Amino acid sequence: MNGGSLPRFVAVEGPIGVGKTTLAGLIHREFGHHLLLETVAENPLLPLFYRDRARWAFHIETFFLIDRMEQLEAIRPVLAIRPVVSDYHILKNLIFSQETLTPAQYAKYETLYRIYVRDLPRPDVIIYLEAGLSTLLKRIQARGRPYERDMDPAYLDRIRRRYAAYFADAEKRHPEARIVRLDTERHDFVHDPAAYRFVMETLVAVLAPPSARPGLGGV
């Protein structure tokens, strides 16, 4: 990221249930970014996938890749006039597909991925959220999405570990972006006002110039 310019595109990433959409919404509220949300609930294959991952894995990964690609293409005009925050980075397609696809399927999928993402807008800040498995399971249960009821905890833990491995060297993978790491188990910004202030104060130095820093609200 160019150290002399403010970020135009911020992506929030992390495993299922970690709080990506919530934090993206808070950044939208506090900093005025345009909010881009992935359309997970609109994927008709999710219930089938959680019941039979082997049967539906390639279908669902391809669906998500095309859907996210189209979303990111559509924000180009928005980025020209205001900053954007999204509750995903398209990198998640690689993380999930490595878990769900066979090696032969993944080789084909990765070829498609490299072609599709080559010219897409790239975030200049990536916020990585992390939490333990038990916390993720509680949050998923609390939000009560019907298509997540059949999720295997072992699958969720493998995804969580893949995220941790990916972001262990995220600076090398994404030299164009500033990586911000937040432990949402230690800093529960949804329920703890002190944690909320900590998270917002962490982000304000990255996302806003001194002359335009907002008066931070609360949860």
Binding residues for ATP: 14-22, 139-143
- Residue 198 burial by Cβ neighbours in a 10 Å radius (0-12, 13-18, 19+): middle
Distances (CA, A) of 104 to 53, 90, 91, 101: 16, 21, 20, 8
In sequence order, which residues have a C-beta less than 8 Å from that of residue 72 and are 6 or more positions away?
Answer: 90, 120, 121
Binding-site residues sit at: 14-22, 139-143
Are the CB atoms for 97 and 124 separated by under 8 Å? no
Q: Which residues are known to be catalytic?
A: 87
Element (H, E) at 179: strand 178-183
The span from the CA of 85 to the CA of 148, in Å, is 25
Are the CB atoms for 184 and 18 separated by under 8 Å? yes
Number of helical H runs and strand E runs in the chain: 10, 5
Q: Residue 13 — φ and ψ, nearest 5°?
A: -135, 165
